[in-house]
Amino acid sequence: MVWAAISDIRHYIISNKLCLSVTSLYPLFIGALFINNTPPEIQYIGYSIGISLIIFTILLALFAYGLIGGGDVKLIPGVALWAGPALILKFLLITTICGGIVALLIICFQYIKKYLTKAKSSEKINFSMSKSSESKNMENNIPYGIGISAGGLYVAFELFHALN
């Protein structure tokens, strides 16, 4: 989860390998619970998979409209799989609140940056040196992986606490 946050902050990318790792470790976790003689009920596993698929479907539609990044679409259902029915609402709440705080901070930072650079005359003189459309698009990105990571770390803490 920490790597997802760092990667999203630095490059606005959450790697497929990371998302696949989060999702593929879930069956190993369930297998370990069976070996430890504390298996979850089959219905609980089914609900976890169902919730994860529903979330993936909703996020895929948001991705199709360009409202959310591809890494977020893959990581949130992976963590939701681990959260299951017991922790899904808390995971989504923590993810939403932390992601919203990050978004507000970035919006405020961009506003302050525009306000401070507004007085510079060099931007008005050098029209040929204007920002490309690619860099303007990067200004609109929000590293939501931070919020997802906070929610995922909460889920990991709760699962660890429940096992001990």
Q: Write out pLDDT tens, residues 124-138.
A: 555 544 454 444 556
Alpha helices in 36-132 (DSSP H): 42-64, 70-117, 122-125
Q: The whole model's pTM is what?
A: 0.85
pLDDT the model gives residue 19: 95
CA 129 from chain centre, in angstroms, equals 34
Kindly indicate the confidence band of residue 140, based on its pLDDT and cuts at 50, 70 and 90.
confident
74 vs 134, more confident:
74
Kindly indicate the confidence band of residue 120, based on its pLDDT and cuts at 50, 70 and 90.
low
Using CA atoms, how far residue 130 sits from 49, 125, 141, 163, in Å, is 48, 10, 19, 56
pLDDT at 123 over 80: no
